[in-house]
Amino acid sequence: MHHVASYSDQLLVLSGVSGSGKTTLVTGLATDFDESNAAFVICPMHADSAEIRRKILVQLISSPIFDDDIPLADTLLRLASTQTKPLHIIIDDAHLLPKALWAECIILNQIQCAGKNIAVTLTVPPSFLTDLLAQLPEQLRRQILPISIEPLTMPEREALYQTLLRCSDQNPFTPREIVRSQLEKQAGTPQEVVTLLEKALHTPPEKVSSWKKYKTTVIAAVSVLLALAIWLGVVQPFPKGPALEAVTFPAIDSPAFLSYGQQLLAPYFTLRAERLKTVDIEKVINSAEVKIEQAVDPLSQFHGEAPHPEPDAAALANIGEVSSKSFTEDKLVIDASSQARMVDVQSSTTSAAKADRPIAKAIFDTQKPLKGYTIQIASVDQLETLRATLQGIENVDGVRIAKYKQRWVVLVGNYSSSKLASNVAAQLVKKYRLDQPWVRKWADLKDYRLQESLPSREISE
């Protein structure tokens, strides 16, 4: 590099990966020139052109009077006659330079000072040099001399490691085989060798725990104890404990076993007998109710037919005597609830015997109240529909039929307040499953004509 920088008229560009030694080489190159006037600059990031020019001119020119805004070529041409030594400009990390300074460096390499061309040496990464050469024309590309730093071979790595180790005046206990294996894993840069040496010199030795130190001994002792315990258990077995006494149980068909079983099951059979007596009593009550219901005419539910006469008291007395005899045999008495049930059956039979007059011949009240409220059940235009509606509410009191235009309206009751009419309507809905009734004022039914009886013809639509 010293020879090429001294006698070549090309721009020297040193390329290498990070840690390959570019800065170390150009630093040694700057201090090795005794017959030249050298300027060494490390380019910082985001530096402008004026700052780099100022750092270069301060090292080359003794006079502090210059303008750092003027290109380097113009300033050095003006001062070339006053220089007695050749000039050598070295810039590290030149990939951070502006493009204008790269153009000035290429021009500087063609200017002579003290009988020799101005030498310019720059350091860049390999990727930047590839991009730069692709952007330059062929003529300017010939003015650049790239020099790449190759990786160190394995003997060179070992020699560098041992040389640096001797210079450190230390002797770490690191086997040579381990050092060689670590160097083989590296890419071959001097920085990796220096890092490995610093790790060997300054990393404290790992403390070996006492467990790792005595692990083998402890495992061996435990194994011996286990083997001894197994041998003693096989050759000299442990004494046997007291034998367990055999427990004998009586046979299933023995008197003691049978008496014990009867004693356990006695509560169950007592409860079962009481439940059977209760079931017999309920059967007698149900049979009495069935006989009473059969005494009533089953056809009394149908409309238009005369009911059968009520059962006489003698029949009821006979049924009561039969029930009393059955209860006397079991020494039980019928409770008050069964008697109340029989009274209900008799009352329902009596009410069913009283049949209403047929709907076709029913007579309705035609007197329309002036005050109060009524309930509108339905509004229909067919006579059959009207009859079906009346059939469903035949047991309701206060039914009236009104005619409004071409429709029949079914009204129920006369009530003094709207709240009372609403309560009765709710009961009708619940009992007869009607649609929602309509509580209306009699005063709003002026155009409604109350009918005395149900007509026999169909209303025209």
Dihedral angle, C-alpha 405, 408, 412, 414, nearest 10 °: 20
Residue 235 has pLDDT above 90, yes or no: no
Burial class (CB in 10 A: 0-12, 13-18, 19+), 208: exposed
Secondary structure of residue 355 in the 3-state scheme: coil
User: What average pLDDT does the structure give for the chain?
Assistant: 76
β-pair partners for 121: 12, 90
What domains are defined for the chain? Answer: 2-148 (3.40.50.300), 154-202 (no CATH), 267-353 (no CATH), 359-451 (3.30.70.1070)
Burial class (CB in 10 A: 0-12, 13-18, 19+), 357: exposed
Write the pLDDT tens digit of every residue in 62-74. Answer: 776 778 888 888 8
Is 133 in contact with 106 (CB distance < 8 Å)?
no
Write the pLDDT tens digit of every residue in 319-364. Answer: 344 333 333 343 333 343 444 344 343 344 334 333 344 454 456 6
Cα–Cα distance measured from residue 125 to residue 146, given in angstroms and rounded to the nearest whole number? 11
Write the pLDDT tens digit of every residue in 173-222. Answer: 777 888 888 888 888 888 888 888 888 887 665 555 666 667 888 888 98
- C-alpha distances in Å from residue 61, one per residue of 31, 83, 122: 18, 9, 20
What percentage of the chain reaches a pLDDT higher than 90?
9
Cα–Cα distance measured from residue 377 to residue 400, given in angstroms and rounded to the nearest whole number? 10
Cα–Cα distance measured from residue 146 to residue 141, given in angstroms and rounded to the nearest whole number? 10
Q: Which amino acid is at 336?
A: A
Q: Which amino acid is at 90?
A: I
268 is written with which tokens?
């169950």
Pairing of strands 37-42, 144-148: unpaired
Is 445 in contact with 390 (CB distance < 8 Å)?
no
DSSP designation for 333: -
Q: Which amino acid is at 96?
A: L
Mean pLDDT of 435-459: 76
The length of the chain in residues reads: 461
Side-chain half-sphere of 182: how many Cα atoms within 13 Å? 16
Write the pLDDT tens digit of every residue in 389-445. Answer: 888 787 788 888 888 888 888 888 888 888 888 888 888 888 887 777 888 888 888
Cut 0.85: pTM above it: no
Write the pLDDT tens digit of every residue in 35-46. Answer: 778 889 999 988
Cα–Cα distance measured from residue 53 to residue 92, given in angstroms and rounded to the nearest whole number? 14
Cα–Cα distance measured from residue 299 to residue 292, given in angstroms and rounded to the nearest whole number? 15
Write the pLDDT tens digit of every residue in 132-150. Answer: 999 888 888 888 899 998 8
CA angle 264, 270, 276 (to 5 degrees): 140
